[in-house]
Every structure is written in structure tokens, then in C-alpha cells.
């Protein structure tokens, strides 16, 4: 078990941090996720290289989502056309100039609902319909949370470049 922890612990922690937002909450979820992975190892089915990582990542994401559902993290959906303020998305080459740790920090600063929907949509490749089913919300709530997450992140990126340019 110790060897497996050393093998997967860092990856599991990164997933937890991406969903939970704070180091403290991520450390709690790391522990809960590792316990769930150990206790569920009999359910794992080898399907080739990468299958174990995919399986434990899914277990970890599900543990995080279960915890976040209990916190009632999502606001009611506001149709996108009623959300104030459009924003300009930075180009991919600009984003590539930002260190990974800085981007991680920006994601962690998002409100829980924004971050959860953003993670499911971007990293887990879920549709808004699937996200709605997973989180027990409607599709409009999912899409408005994603819109707000993008707007939030674009604002953080803009701030980052303003600070960088002024230094």
C-alpha cells in the first residue's frame, strides 16, 4: 500500500487540489481518495497501459464531487445572455507563457461552483448535459457556471499580464 501511495499520491493530490481549491481541503480529499482507491482496488480491471491511472483518477474525481455536492456549491443558473460583461479570451500562445503553478493558483481561486464545472468540462471532457446529471443541476446552470469560470479566469490572466508588464 505504501508503494502504491508513493506511485499515485502526487497525481491524486493534483486532482484533489484542482477540484477542492485549497491545499487544506485537497489534503483531506487526498486521504479520503487514497482510502477509497485501496478499498475499491478489487473493482479495477486492467485494460492496458494507462488504465490504472484513468481508474484511480476517476475514483478521485468522484470522491471530490461527492464532497462538493454536500457543500451545495452551485448558484442558480442565470441564462448567459443575462450575465453582465463580455470578456476577451487570451490567445493560446499567451497562456503558454504563464507558469503552470500560476495557472493552478488561478484555478484554485475560482469559486467552488465555477471550478467544479470548469474541471468537468475542460479536463474530464463532459458535456453540460452530463455535468448537469453528475451534479444534479440543470444544463443552463452548468453552462452559466462555465461562462462565469471562463470570465473569471480571463480576468486573472489579464491581471497577471498587467502585473508582469509593469515589472
CA-based torsion, 131, 136, 141, 144: positive or negative:
negative
Placement of cell 464532497 in the chain: 67
Query: Rounded CA gap, 71 and 93, in Å?
Result: 36
Q: Give the CATH number of domain 80-166.
A: 1.10.10.10
Mean pLDDT in residue range 103-125: 94
Share of the chain above pLDDT 70, in %: 90
Per-residue pLDDT of 7-17, as tens digits, reads: 999 999 999 99
CATH class entry, domain 2-70? mainly alpha
Which conformational region is residue 27 in: left (phi greater than 0), alpha (psi within -120 to 50 degrees), or beta? alpha
d(CA 61, CA 15): 7
Task: State how far the Cα of 143 lies from the Cα of 79, in Å rounded to an integer.
Answer: 8
pTM: 0.79
pLDDT tens-digit readout, 46-97 = 999 999 999 999 999 999 999 988 877 665 444 444 445 567 788 888 888 8
Sign of CA dihedral 126, 132, 138, 144: negative
Q: Where are the domains of the chain?
A: 2-70, 80-166
Other beta carbons within 10 Å of 30: 22
pLDDT of residue 78: 44
Amino acid at each position: 500500500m505504501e508503494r502504491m501511495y508513493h506511485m499515485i499520491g502526487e497525481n491524486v493530490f493534483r486532482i484533489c487540489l484542482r477540484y477542492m481549491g485549497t491545499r487544506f481541503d485537497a489534503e483531506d480529499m487526498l486521504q479520503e481518495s487514497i482510502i477509497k482507491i485501496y478499498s475499491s482496488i478489487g473493482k479495477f480491471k486492467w485494460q492496458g497501459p494507462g488504465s490504472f491511472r484513468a481508474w484511480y483518477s476517476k475514483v478521485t474525481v468522484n470522491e471530490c464531487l461527492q464532497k462538493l455536492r454536500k457543500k451545495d456549491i452551485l448558484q442558480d443558473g442565470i441564462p448567459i445572455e443575462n450575465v453582465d460583461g463580455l470578456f476577451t479570451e487570451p490567445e493560446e500562445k499567451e497562456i503558454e507563457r504563464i507558469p503552470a503553478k500560476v495557472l493552478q493558483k488561478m484555478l484554485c481561486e475560482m469559486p467552488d461552483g465555477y471550478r467544479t464545472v470548469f474541471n468537468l468540462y475542460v479536463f474530464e471532457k463532459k458535456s453540460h448535459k452530463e455535468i448537469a446529471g453528475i451534479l444534479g443541476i440543470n444544463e443552463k446552470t452548468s453552462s452559466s457556471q462555465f461562462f462565469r469560470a471562463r470570465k473569471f479566469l480571463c480576468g486573472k490572466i489579464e491581471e497577471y499580464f498587467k502585473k508582469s508588464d509593469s515589472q
